[in-house]
Amino acid sequence: MDIALLASGGVDSAVATHLLCERGEKPTLFYIIIGAQEESEFSCTMEEDLEMVNLLARQYGLRVETVDLHRDYWDKVVSYLIDRVKSGLTPNPDVMCNSLIKFGSFYDKVGKGFERIVTGHYASTVVDNGVKYLATSPDPVKDQTDFLCQITIEQLNRLEFPIGLLRKADVRAIAERYNLAPAHRKDSQGICFLGNTTYNALLRRYLGDKEGNIIEWESGRVLGKHQGYWYYTLGQRKGLRLGGGPWFVVKKDVDSNTVFVSLDIESPNQLCNASEFSLEGWHELAPDIVSSAETKLDCLPVFFKIRHSPEFEEGALCYSESLGRYVVKCNRTLRGVAPGQFAVIYVPYKDGRKICIGSGEIR
């Protein structure tokens, strides 16, 4: 069976490789290039990553190939990021990188030629009554199903996550026991395409700086200046450089380039807090579960996340005829609900895991 394994040079994909080889399978290792190779502030040093991948390949007698998706990344993911930020929204480039690049461009250009695509994600799958579902990892801190929420059902059917039922400590222990080259490498922090620079530097390159006012929402009092609303997200506390705080961002006005802040972030009536919100671009991963309610007007009890965290929120997924879209009704008022974020929806599975049934952008 032809198997493509996405190898990053990190410990997770290394252990995924080991587990496949241990059961007698021989995947082809693919290293995806997304960072600029030319010398620039956004260049990405991949020598160490590739060295780790090649050492792993030699240890198990595997073939290594590189796939250059740098242009795809900038044309698709970075353009999505800039467009959303410019519109005052809060994007999630990690979700779109998985959807558009790792399981998008790679799948279209290379992956379709393989029967299975294997990664080192902390996620699992469930097959129930002949249907394959995306399910959570037992490690709540490392679980990455929310980053996979926009993959397609076709892609999911070919995907395998060998470390999906392991905790990070177990993965490290396996890497050390079998002397895998990346055993002691630190987990990657952030996205490779940023190279030696920062997220704000990327925004500055494409959107520049434009001075605007920071205003207290309740009083209308000008508290300070900022260099562009695109540098802030709803619920943000750090980086405001205001005295007498802590202050929280509660609204951004795109037209006037104004950032509104408040000391009272806990109030249920605060602008960035919500007990329900609607979803645009509903992306379904388990249509049979969503439609299992008697009618579309029924609400489905669900767990959900609106940001990457170990904890789940509880509520109900309901279809609004008047809005023509799904609405999430929360069991409690949530703080810092930012339009543009993905709400990832889950239902419980009988073995204690949760199945990801779909996602949409908060509007």
- Asked whether 29 and 7 are in contact (CB, 8 A), the reply is yes
The Cα 271–Cα 141 span in angstroms is 29
Catalytic residue among 21, 149, 192, 272: 192
- Residue 15 CB-density burial (10 A; 0-12 exposed, 13-18 middle, 19+ buried): buried
At a CB cut-off of 8 Å and minimum separation 6, what does 350 contact?
none
- Asked whether 46 and 33 are in contact (CB, 8 A), the reply is yes
DSSP 7-27: --SSHHHHHHHHHHHHTT--P
- Residue 242 CB-density burial (10 A; 0-12 exposed, 13-18 middle, 19+ buried): middle
- Asked whether 260 and 251 are in contact (CB, 8 A), the reply is yes
Is 192 assigned a catalytic role?
yes
Is 149 assigned a catalytic role?
no
Beta strands in the chain (DSSP E): 3-6, 28-33, 64-68, 116-118, 124-128, 131-135, 159-160, 212-216, 222-226, 248-253, 258-262, 274-284, 300-305, 313-320, 325-334, 342-348, 354-362
Catalytic residue among 21, 44, 97, 318: 97
Residues belonging to the active site: 97, 192
